[in-house]
Amino acid sequence: NYAARSVYKLKEMDKRFHIFKPGQTVLDLGAAPGSWTQFAGEKVGKQGRVLSVDLQSTKHSFADNITFLQADVFSDSPELLEAIEPLAPFDVIISDMAPKTTGIKFADQANSLELCQRAFEVARKYLKKGGNFAVKIFEGGEINDYRNEIRPHFGKIKNFKPHSSRAESKEIFIVALGFRGIEE
Ligand code: SAM
């Protein structure tokens, strides 16, 4: 039993792009209530590890290869760094982070973009060379600028709209495979 229906989106994404492999380490940003976390935990198996971060706590209990931390991705709290650093660099970083929607289209897009930018900042720092990055973004606004910003850092980049995403939903996913690493 998965914590949320969002799991179908990640399943579709993994089926199409083969994001996960057994034994990998995964960082899941915006993870509550935890369905992506559960799925990633299954895919990486007992030899793999998943670190999940969300502003919210979750009532769900997870398998032993999973650590769930309640934290803001914008904070540089010692607790967050202490959870990330022993597992870094990660093979996969996924972000399903979404802002609280305001109903004001431009504000929602801007808030979503800010979360995506933060996710990429985290990826630049903590993603392994060759690793995969997938991030939810609200369509419209600066999505092309964002794509252009991250494109040079990956071997391949695709937009993905899962069938399981509601038709009226403005969300799409950017899937970026094969991180080139950041030259200092
Ligand atoms: N992937 C999750 C699942 O399958 O259960 C669902 C994620 S939900 C659509 C989006 C999450 O992003 C919310 O739980 C929200 O608290 C989280 N979020 C938004 N801003 C955040 C931030 N600054 N730091 C951490 N999490 C954040």
Expressed in angstroms and rounded, the spacing between residue 152 Cα and the centre of ligand 1 is: 27
Residue 183's pLDDT is 65
Question: What are 22-73's pLDDT values in tens digits?
Answer: 999 999 999 999 999 999 999 999 999 999 999 999 999 999 999 999 999 9
Residue 167's pLDDT is 77
- CA dihedral angle for residue 130, residue 122, residue 120, residue 168, rounded to 10 degrees: 110
User: In this structure, is residue 26 part of a structural domain?
Assistant: yes
Question: What are 152-167's pLDDT values in tens digits?
Answer: 999 999 999 999 988 7
Expressed in angstroms and rounded, the spacing between residue 134 Cα and the centre of ligand 1 is: 14
CATH at residue 90: 3.40.50.150
- Other beta carbons within 10 angstroms of residue 53's beta carbon come to 25
User: In this structure, is residue 25 part of a structural domain?
Assistant: yes
Nearest to 95 by CA among 48, 152, 53: 53
Catalytic status, residue 136: yes
User: In this structure, is residue 1 part of a structural domain?
Assistant: no
- ipTM rounded to 2 decimals: 0.99
d(C-alpha 92, C-alpha 112), whole Å:
20
User: In this structure, is residue 184 part of a structural domain?
Assistant: no
Residue in this structure with the two tokens 């034994």, named with its chain if needed: 23
Active-site residue (options: 125, 136, 158, 170): 136
Q: Counting atoms of ligand 1 from 1, which one is nearest the CA of 6?
A: 4
Domain region containing 167: 7-179
Q: What is the mean pLDDT of residues 12-25?
A: 98
User: In this structure, is residue 161 part of a structural domain?
Assistant: yes
91 pLDDT exceeds 60? yes
- Other beta carbons within 10 angstroms of residue 10's beta carbon come to 26
Expressed in angstroms and rounded, the spacing between residue 117 Cα and the centre of ligand 1 is: 15
Categorize the per-residue pLDDT at 184 as very low, low, confident or very high, splitting at 50, 70 and 90: low
